[in-house]
Structure 1
Amino acid sequence: MQPVAPTNAYAVKYYPEAVLRWEREGNFFYFYTQDVVLEVKVISNHIVRFRYAPDGRFQRDFSYAINPEFKESVTRLDYSEDASCIRIFTEQLQIQIDRQHLLVSVLNQEGQLINQDEKGFHWQHYQQKGGKIVYCSKYIQQDECFYGLGDKPTDFQLRGKRLENFGMDRYGYGWNVDPLYKNIPFYYGLHHGIGYGIFLDNTFRTFFDFGQERADVCSFWAHGGEMCYYFIYGPSLMDVAARYTQLTGTPDLPPLWSLGYHQSRWSYYPASKVKEIAQEFRKRKIPCDVIHLDIDYMDGFRCFTFHPEGFPDPAGLMRELADMGFKVVAIIDPGIKVDPNYFVYREGIAGDYFCKRGDGAWMEGDVWPGRCVFPDFTNPKVRTWWSRLCKHLTDVGIRGVWNDMNEPAVFEIGTFPDDVRHDYDGDPCSHRKAHNVYGHLMSKATAEGISRYLMPKRPFVITRSCYAGAQRWTSVWTGDNTASWEHLFIAAIQCLRLSISGISFAGSDIGGFIGEPTPELYVRWLQMAAFHVFMRTHSASNETNFHQEPWAFGEKNEFIARKFIKLRYRLLPYFYTTFWQYSTYGYPMLRPTVFADQHDVNTYNRADEFMLGDHLLISPVHAPGLKTKTVYLPAGEWYNFWNDDLVQGKQSIEVRTPLTEIPVFVRAGAMIPQFPQMEYVPEQLQFQEMILDAYFTHGVQETVLYEDAGDGYGYRDGQYRVICFTLQGKSDQLQINRTCTGSFKPLYQQYRLVCHGLPFTATKYEVDGQVYAITQSRSGGTKKILKITIPADFQEIIIR
């Protein structure tokens, strides 16, 4: 090793010396220097793991992030060497290991440089805490952009930023506050039209510098553990996202109702208030599927209990709500009240399930119940115990669980001290190593319990804190935001960033958790959230008696809120299909415009717009009083959702933004499936007609529709279907072909086909060779919208 002369005793850094020898074992390559061993594991043609042992000994090869079911696949693996370097070849990549300093360069198969070490791996001894601080530094390529890292409330493009992962409770956080709740050490690089990703799989406190300290250097480091990172090649950003999500795990399909509208407050109390809110939704015909119960439903904030006076008959309450079409999600926190009369505390003490300090005392701290102890979720026995406790909730009819305060948060001191000990699945450690996975594993244990006891129904879990890979079992929200226009924009950035960081099932507290939004702010926030994957209004208004339901801001604003919530429910088939693509292939549900066209430099720094799935583009209104706003459309043709204006992409346009609308555009050639209007997702979808909005294009475009029962696990046994619609437009006709796979049979028998933008006057149409005359069409100004009813099992439609 080569020490660098320090400016003080703490700053001594060491670097690898020359490679003395190397060897190959299957898809592993090992490179040995005097003190350091580099392990290169080729996982697939596009994914390579780099792992360093600065003292020659690797730590346990273990990860809470990597999907245990991920299948490695390498179709080509060769190597060569010369006096300067050793080269490893896959079908897509060339990895070069410099013999002199163990530096790594990654090139694509055409020989273009993708990623290159600057100083590469180096380290220093962490004198105050123990272990080593491990670093890696790389050159920033010309005009390189960076994205990712989860819920950071900062500019979408990260060039010039330094950011940190160490989950913290940030009540009322603001712009550029860091670190925040979640710990997702994964980022994208993009230069010369080439996209790649780097995932640093290290649960210690980690840091990322994207050229802040040195403008031409990107570096990342951790305050302990190994330097272990995955390089993920695209070259498209969408493929990087898919490969990262597959590596860390794709989610199961959620219950369809969880994609509906959720209503919450701190707190709806007592049970009569919960019923009153539910009845008001139905009376006002505002769609809603879920009511959340915050901490006051518990007996003295004791998890897995109900307040004996406020909620004397929880099972009866759940039955009444279910009869109205509502599901209930209940909050739980990790803090367990120190109370010998409390069954959870007694069981935890008897089983030795709670975290301890370095000297063996219980880790105690004040949270909502007062003095609390905290389960060690890194212990598999504790996770099993916690999972079993979930039966106390499901037995009364709770359909989902909300995990909060699990960074972990502790009043006055912030979080656990470093000396707290954890099992870490059989590899005991301090809290320094376990902190960033504490909430991650709490939500995992919760999901395992809810899944078991709700069987055969699907679970719904949401968490505030997590680590990479949590998308396998949970959704997330962005934490304790405020009722401000700044936070509306922050929410847009956070949900988009979380989506490309593997966690698409994300949302924010509509209107802001802290404070009171103006009617305009609430409406604009709800309009944006109608296109986010998790849609929930939540507010901290228990002391002020301020209400934040959709009808709380006057009749005019209630009308607009109802309009957008209804639109959300009509679009549920599109949301569900997009979730299936995420679950099956790993594609993010929300996508920045740079993901739509990474060769268009105008998209690189934009977050004013986002794509929802393949075909919808949304541009939220982030400021008060706006009558118009500028929207940038990626390449292609786009229809204004509200008036069918057809606009050429790859340009900025000015769009009207009355309070009743936000800019929404549909890709030309798309087929947008819609449900008839509903006030909640029923146990069985019983409507007789599905709506298909077809948007004309000159050329060919494909749209996918995924369908299953919306709950249960029949889809795992083939009870689903995937329909592919191929739309082909010509100057004088529109042709739509339909192919179908899968055995699921929905109840509806017909489509109401709504054709937008036809450049000709249609007089007839054919369905599988049978000709019908067109007797009427509806005009919208100078635009014509053709509506026809066709059988749901058609194979070909031709409109002339």
Structure 2
Amino acid sequence: MIINTELEYKGNLYPSRIIDFKKEVDSAFFYTDNDVILKITIVRDSLLRFRYTTKGYFSPDFSYAIDENHSRGYNHFEVVEEPDFYHVKTSKLDCHVSKADLRTAIFDLKGNAVLEDELGFHWEEIYEYGGNIVKMSKVSKDGENFYGLGDKATHLNLKGKRLENWATDQYAYHKDQEPLYKAVPFYIGLNGKDAYGIFFDNTFRSFFDFCHERRNVSSFWADGGEMNYYFFYGPSMHDVVAAYTDLTGKPELPPLWALGYHQCKWSYYPESKVKEITSRFRELRIPCDAIYLDIDYMEGFRCFTWNKNFFPDPKRMVAELAEDGFKTIVIIDPGIKIDKDYWVYNEGIANDYFCKRADGPYMKGKVWPGECNFPDYTNPAVREWWAGLFKELVGDIGVKGVWNDMNEPAVMEVPTKTFPLDVRHDYDGHPCSHRKAHNIYGTQMARATYEGVKRFSYPKRPFIITRSAYSGAQRYTSSWTGDNVATWEHLWIANVQVQRMSLSGMGFTGSDIGGFAEQPTGELYARWIQLGVFHPFCRTHSSGHHGEQEPWAFDDEVINVTRKFIELRYQLLPYLYTMFWQYIDESIPMLKPLVYFDQEDPQTHYRTDEFIFGNHILVCPILEPNAVGRRMYVPRGSWYNYWNNEIVQGGRESWIDVAFDQIPLFVKAGAVIPKYPVQQYVGELEFDELTLDVYYKEGKEESKVFEDAQDGYDYTKGRYSLRTFTTAGKGKELVLHQHKEGKFITPYNYFKINLIGLPFKVTAVEVDNEEVSLEELKFNIHNTLTVNKDFSELHIKGI
């Protein structure tokens, strides 16, 4: 380590020498003679928290991001003193703390440096704010790469970038524009084949520099607050992402219908227009589960009201839509119109629930209704009030989901696009200014909305979607990538953003299919649908100001492509639902960039386009017009082309031909892919068999299928069905083993098994060690057979 003896350099201040240390149950404290304290907490053996103060004491410890149910506990923790530094040791890491200047270096147990401070912690006194800018810089090794940070509209690999976290209403943003709607201060570093992660839990405006300013230095800093970050040790990206996702929390399972296709526009009104849209979906046999009402459903854009000219009887309309399989989702913004005849406004004033300026008056800003006040969602009493406001919408009228928009928070007609920074917030009993609360505002609104919708939806599950978010928002809400544009560049951006959000703990995310601003061509819309159906949240949305953007706004070819791919999504719903369960149960991201899927292959480190959907499906969207194919990288292993079942050996870049009604789509050899029959909406059909596409592989592969009642909370009481399938191919034999868990009885009785890629002709099948005639199994020339769902082992033999 380089020892820095100067306490001030270029306006920055630094810790001086350590004069004392103490060890508590799970933490080590290091004290310097210029009043800096470093507290290192062992959260887990591979998860360390670093917390610094420059004033000789710590402020109360509070974070909205950390899930109170996160995993804790370690096997080993000791502090050992050396002449020049202290060892802070766990069973997986050895952190050195320099006695001269408090710099740290983290090593694995083999003595390899994982992450070292460069200047380390330093700070700058900013008297304009009456406080500090807190800074941290790390040594970046040659060849190191960086990933994460939420919805950034830039290359998946952040090497060479400088990025900003300040939630901003960024209408029609472009590639590389900063900042955007979300603040997710978590990144993954990949050194060669070893990964680590950093979560900088600071809600002030923050910045990250990945070797942009200085070649071998990565750094992060914030305009206030503490230098407070968590270090996650891999060495696999899976370990890092899983640990971060566990720390900041996971959602409950969504209702299955929420994973269907959604249709939205600014705006569908009056009621006759809404019915026209929903009827057209059913007429064209394009599956759809949800219809959205944007701000025009309200009376003068007043939240929790209805325009009775457009919607004379909302309860009847919502019930009629539900009979046809459509769930109604409505928008709710934070701005409450200043209007003494408006009940929500009057309740907010009477109870002092709105945000105030520093000198006392309520903060006033213009949004859609005109002049508004804004609830302080960082106040628990305000969240409780806000939750109660959903009684009529959800409990009485029957709305199934709520869409939170404009919650960065966005304010019109001011250069900053948001609140004045002197606005005061309760911050759950830790009063602060908007400088600290800004990035968390949208998450706390979504939290209050979630609590309300859940209360009045019960015993069904809630569905919430938000535009703005901070780390941890995934506990309450899904999200989308904001007001994008109908361009090919934005199709590329959407692909990268949703992969990055999945890596950043917020898996339930999608983009506005087709682009929000401007009007897509039929070709662009079709290509966007082909990508969007492989995003966890799948919704077409447009501003509607440049024309129509429903599938039938384009020609028959586009309608047919749209139907084909939405039908494919509905077939894959059990696969997608299983992905979601694994995200919740095991913290596994639903979409996996190739670098996550195989970090040891350096060819994956700069790939942006291809991703793994779940565990076994490789997706590569078409991102250019007039394409008859594209070059793509197929990761190592054996893969089946989904469209023709031809097998491809990965580990190299290949040219793939595609038709207009296809994109490159591959299935991992050995996979078992569950499929439902095509439905127009979730729950439309009863069926007596589940299709399993079984792809042959020499060797073993494991697949899972999770099912439950598709809504409600019985799954938390063990009423779920988890089937683990193991395929084992060897020469002229294929063994399919099934292990069953859970108390839920699936409504179907049979599996229809499609055997794909068999290198032999089937001559005999044993079911649980007893040979069963091929005729009884309805075996046919397409290598399809039907078997009771409760088998334990299928042994397929051939010549």
Question: Is contact 1:610–1:618 with CA below 8 Å preserved after alignment?
Answer: yes
Which residue of structure 2 aligns with residue 24 of structure 1?
23
The Cα of 1:456 is off from its aligned counterpart by: 0.1
Matches within 5 A, 1:238-253: 238-253=238-253
SS at match of 1:31: strand
Question: Is contact 1:570–1:675 with CA below 8 Å preserved after alignment?
Answer: yes
Q: Which amino acid aligns with 2:562?
A: A
SS at match of 2:397: coil
The Cα of 1:251 is off from its aligned counterpart by: 1.0
Matches within 5 A, 1:655-734: 655-682=656-683, 686-734=686-734
The Cα of 1:750 is off from its aligned counterpart by: 0.1
1:492 and 2:495 are equivalent in the alignment:
yes
Which residue of structure 2 aligns with residue 797 of structure 1?
794
Which residue of structure 2 aligns with residue 589 of structure 1?
590
Give structure 2 stretches of 5+ with no counterpart. none
Which residue of structure 1 aligns with residue 62 of structure 2?
62
Matches within 5 A, 1:216-231: 216-231=216-231
Distance 1:264 1:768 in 2: 49
Q: Output the TM-score relative to the length of structure 2.
A: 0.97
Question: Is contact 2:779–2:786 with CA below 8 Å preserved after alignment?
Answer: no
The Cα of 1:771 is off from its aligned counterpart by: 2.0
Which residue of structure 2 aligns with residue 267 of structure 1?
267
Which residue of structure 2 aligns with residue 556 of structure 1?
557
The Cα of 1:5 is off from its aligned counterpart by: 4.5
SS at match of 2:454: helix
Q: Which amino acid aligns with 1:787?
A: T
Q: Which amino acid aligns with 1:454?
A: S
Deviations 1:563-603 (CA, angstroms, capped at 9, x unpaired): 00000000000000000000111111011001111111000
Distance 2:657 2:602 in 1: 25
Question: Is contact 2:23–2:79 with CA below 8 Å preserved after alignment?
Answer: no
Deviates most, 769-778 or 660-669: 769-778
1:532 and 2:535 are equivalent in the alignment:
yes
Q: Which amino acid aligns with 2:631?
A: T
Deviations 1:154-176 (CA, angstroms, capped at 9, x unpaired): 11100110000000000100001
Q: Which amino acid aligns with 1:127?
A: Y
Distance 2:733 2:171 in 1: 57
The Cα of 1:764 is off from its aligned counterpart by: 2.0
SS at match of 1:449: helix
Which residue of structure 1 aligns with residue 421 of structure 2?
418
Q: Which amino acid aligns with 2:445?
A: M
Which residue of structure 1 aligns with residue 462 of structure 2?
459
Distance 1:5 1:777 in 2: 78
Distance 2:9 2:205 in 1: 26
Q: Which amino acid aligns with 1:293?
A: L
Deviations 1:26-48 (CA, angstroms, capped at 9, x unpaired): 11100000120000000001100
Which residue of structure 2 aligns with residue 33 of structure 1?
32
Question: Is contact 1:728–1:734 with CA below 8 Å preserved after alignment?
Answer: yes
Deviations 1:476-504 (CA, angstroms, capped at 9, x unpaired): 00000000000000000100000000000
Question: Is contact 2:27–2:41 with CA below 8 Å preserved after alignment?
Answer: yes
Distance 2:234 2:55 in 1: 33
Question: Is contact 1:763–1:773 with CA below 8 Å preserved after alignment?
Answer: no
Distance 1:756 1:637 in 2: 13
SS at match of 1:723: strand
Which residue of structure 2 aligns with residue 432 of structure 1?
435
**Matched residue pairs, number?**
787
Question: Is contact 1:159–1:211 with CA below 8 Å preserved after alignment?
Answer: yes
Distance 2:556 2:663 in 1: 19
Distance 1:38 1:5 in 2: 20
Which residue of structure 1 aligns with residue 604 of structure 2?
603
Distance 2:424 2:643 in 1: 57
Which residue of structure 2 aligns with residue 52 of structure 1?
52
Deviates most, 141-150 or 546-555: 546-555
Distance 1:682 1:5 in 2: 66
Distance 1:353 1:112 in 2: 53
Question: Is contact 1:134–1:226 with CA below 8 Å preserved after alignment?
Answer: yes
Matches within 5 A, 1:114-513: 114-394=114-394, 395-413=396-414, 414-513=417-516
Distance 1:744 1:619 in 2: 35
Q: Which amino acid aligns with 1:759?
A: P
Q: Which amino acid aligns with 2:788?
A: P
Distance 1:505 1:465 in 2: 14
Question: Is contact 2:464–2:478 with CA below 8 Å preserved after alignment?
Answer: yes
Distance 2:522 2:534 in 1: 19
Distance 2:67 2:763 in 1: 55
Question: Is contact 1:87–1:95 with CA below 8 Å preserved after alignment?
Answer: yes
Deviations 1:308-364 (CA, angstroms, capped at 9, x unpaired): 110110000011001001101100100000000000000000000000111111110
Distance 1:118 1:698 in 2: 48
Which residue of structure 2 aligns with residue 652 of structure 1?
653
Question: Is contact 1:356–1:363 with CA below 8 Å preserved after alignment?
Answer: yes
Deviates most, 367-376 or 390-399: 390-399
The Cα of 1:119 is off from its aligned counterpart by: 0.5
The Cα of 1:607 is off from its aligned counterpart by: 1.1
Query: Are the structure 2 counterparts of residues 47 and 124 from structure 1 closer, same or farther at C-alpha, using a change threshold of 3 Å?
Result: same
Deviations 1:425-447 (CA, angstroms, capped at 9, x unpaired): 11111100000000010000000
Give structure 1 stretches of 5+ with no counterpart. 7-11, 780-784
The Cα of 1:2 is off from its aligned counterpart by: 4.7
Question: Is contact 1:762–1:774 with CA below 8 Å preserved after alignment?
Answer: no
SS at match of 1:125: strand
The Cα of 1:777 is off from its aligned counterpart by: 6.9
Which residue of structure 1 aligns with residue 619 of structure 2?
618
Which residue of structure 2 aligns with residue 9 of structure 1?
none
Distance 2:628 2:767 in 1: 44
Q: Which amino acid aligns with 1:628?
A: G
Question: Is contact 2:410–2:418 with CA below 8 Å preserved after alignment?
Answer: yes
Q: Which amino acid aligns with 1:554?
A: D
Which residue of structure 2 aligns with residue 782 of structure 1?
none
SS at match of 2:479: strand
SS at match of 1:606: coil
1:4 and 2:8 are equivalent in the alignment:
yes
Q: Which amino acid aligns with 1:482?
A: V
SS at match of 1:371: strand
Question: Is contact 1:504–1:533 with CA below 8 Å preserved after alignment?
Answer: yes
Q: Output the TM-score relative to the length of structure 1.
A: 0.97
Stretches of 4+ moved more than 3 A in 1?
A: 772-779
Deviations 1:507-543 (CA, angstroms, capped at 9, x unpaired): 00000000110000000000000100000000001x4
Distance 1:111 1:193 in 2: 16
Which residue of structure 2 aligns with residue 638 of structure 1?
639
Distance 1:112 1:311 in 2: 66
Question: Is contact 2:331–2:402 with CA below 8 Å preserved after alignment?
Answer: yes
Q: Which amino acid aligns with 1:417?
A: P
SS at match of 1:231: strand
SS at match of 1:89: strand
Distance 1:777 1:170 in 2: 57
SS at match of 1:180: coil
Computed over aligned residues only, the root mean square deviation of the Cα atoms, in angstroms, reads 1.1
Q: Which amino acid aligns with 2:104?
A: V
Distance 1:366 1:201 in 2: 31
The Cα of 1:424 is off from its aligned counterpart by: 0.8
Question: Is contact 1:483–1:514 with CA below 8 Å preserved after alignment?
Answer: yes
Deviates most, 241-250 or 547-556: 547-556
